[in-house]
């Protein structure tokens, strides 16, 4: 069964610099300036080998003044599925903008119905278009406010939660729909969690293994489609170099978390309420700019 997707953010990886043009720059507050960097990241998803989105630019809206437009000289085709854990890819790098408060940013994308400008590739090798309703006109808008310090630098990562965002089409529709669940994370205030899961759990033939991360302690553990969904999740995979079953969660805001392990990730559909079983849960604290280790060990 096709299972949808997830996302989150901390460190930026400089994976390449590309040409872009800025226009209509206006003051956010006063005459001072700062720099901004923006990256995208994602997490793994069942039954797909690639989720490619075509980005054409970014719009930043200051609290005061006209929008600032960054239009890429050439569209950027980014496979979000390749950006797992603490991996990310830059869309803007150290661009000078007006310092001050901003109220939203918008990612410009090409994702038309019936086209393969943005697309998903499944395990069987088939490719299907990704259609974002209204995406060509309105893009992908994040309404989380943010600020750029005068004389300083701000760096953010946009986490695409693809497990929650990609919708399998009805029989009469050719394309998959992308209804993005996005999170804006300030890199300096985020961290990550890495660890292993006991092989006696993961090696079972019917185990679709994943680790869910819930913000807070003593929380209710819910499925993706419940009233208590995880903030993020990561699939568990065999590390051929160590023989361990590893997971990695990146770009988590600093704070206390509850992590839970399940073998039923492929049964967890974000557009419906599913009852899934968690075999273990652990508490962990995440610090900004740091990676924390948490291993799941089966009781004996």
Q: Which pLDDT belongs to residue 11? A: 30
Share of the chain above pLDDT 70, in %: 85
For residues 113, 175, 49, 166, the Cα torsion angle rounded to the nearest 10 degrees is 90
- 175-232: pLDDT as tens digits: 888 777 788 899 999 999 999 999 999 988 789 999 999 999 989 999 988 889 999 8
Residue 136, pLDDT above cutoff 70: no
* Structure-block tokens of residue 35: 């720099």
CB 10 within 8 A of CB 190: yes
Q: Which residue has the higher pLDDT, 105 or 22?
A: 105
Domain ranges in the chain?
20-188, 190-293
Q: What is the mean pLDDT of residues 66-75?
A: 95
Place of tokens 């950027």: 76
252 beta partners = 191
Give the confidence band of 107 by pLDDT, cuts at 50, 70, 90: very high
Instruction: Specify the range with the lowest mean pLDDT, choosing from 8-12, 63-67, 128-132, 202-206.
Output: 8-12
Residue 6, pLDDT above cutoff 70: no
Q: Which pLDDT belongs to residue 23? A: 43
Q: Which pLDDT belongs to residue 75? A: 94
Three-state secondary structure readout of 243-255 = CCEEEEEEEEECE
Mean pLDDT of the chain: 83
Give the confidence band of 1 by pLDDT, cuts at 50, 70, 90: very low
Q: Which pLDDT belongs to residue 45? A: 66
- 34-49: pLDDT as tens digits: 999 999 888 666 678 8
* Structure-block tokens of residue 294: 């948490």
Q: Which residue has the higher pLDDT, 297 or 7?
A: 297
Q: Residue 30 — left, alpha, or beta (φ > 0 → left; ψ -120 to 50 → alpha)?
A: left
Share of the chain above pLDDT 90, in %: 51
Give the confidence band of 170 by pLDDT, cuts at 50, 70, 90: low
Task: Report how far apart the first and last C-alpha atoms of the chain are (Å, whole number).
Answer: 33
Whether the model pTM is above 0.85: no
Q: Which pLDDT belongs to residue 111? A: 85
Residue 19, pLDDT above cutoff 50: no
Strands 237-238 and 245-253: antiparallel
Residue 300, pLDDT above cutoff 60: no
CB 50 within 8 A of CB 81: yes
> Could you say which architecture CATH assigns to the domain 190-293?
Sandwich (2.60)
Longest dimension (CA), the chain: 64
Residue 84, pLDDT above cutoff 90: no
Instruction: Specify the range with the lowest mean pLDDT, choosing from 38-52, 58-72, 82-96, 119-133.
Output: 38-52
CB 213 within 8 A of CB 228: no
205: burial class by Cβ within 10 Å (0-12, 13-18, 19+)? exposed
């Amino acid at each position: 069964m096709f299972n949808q997707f997830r996302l989150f953010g901390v460190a930026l990886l400089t994976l390449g610099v590309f040409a872009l043009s800025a226009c209509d720059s206006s003051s956010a507050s006063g005459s001072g300036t700062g720099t901004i960097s923006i990256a995208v990241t994602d997490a793994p998803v069942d039954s797909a080998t690639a989720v490619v989105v075509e980005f054409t630019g970014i719009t930043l809206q200051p609290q005061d003044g006209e929008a600032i437009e960054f239009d890429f000289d050439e569209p950027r085709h980014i496979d979000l599925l390749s950006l797992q854990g603490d991996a990310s890819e830059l869309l803007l790098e150290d661009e000078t903008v007006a310092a001050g408060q901003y109220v939203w940013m918008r990612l410009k994308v090409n994702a038309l119905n019936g086209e393969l400008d943005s697309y998903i590739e499944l395990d069987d090798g088939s490719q299907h278009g990704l259609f974002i309703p209204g995406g060509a006109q309105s893009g992908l808008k994040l309404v989380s406010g943010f600020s750029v310090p005068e004389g300083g630098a701000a760096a953010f990562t946009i986490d695409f939660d693809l497990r929650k965002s990609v919708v399998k089409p009805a029989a009469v529709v050719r394309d998959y729909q992308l209804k993005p669940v996005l999170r804006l994370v300030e890199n300096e205030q985020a961290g990550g969690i890495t660890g292993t899961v006991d092989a006696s759990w993961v090696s079972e033939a019917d185990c679709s293994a994943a680790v869910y991360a819930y913000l807070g302690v003593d929380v209710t553990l819910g499925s993706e489609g419940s009233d208590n969904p995880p903030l993020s999740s990561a699939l568990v995979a065999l590390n051929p170099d160590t023989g361990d079953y590893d997971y990695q969660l990146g770009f988590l805001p600093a704070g206390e978390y509850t992590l839970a392990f399940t073998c039923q990730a492929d049964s967890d559909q974000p557009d419906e309420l599913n009852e899934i079983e968690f075999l273990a849960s652990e508490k962990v604290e995440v610090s900004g700019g740091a990676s924390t280790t948490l291993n799941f060990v089966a009781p004996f």
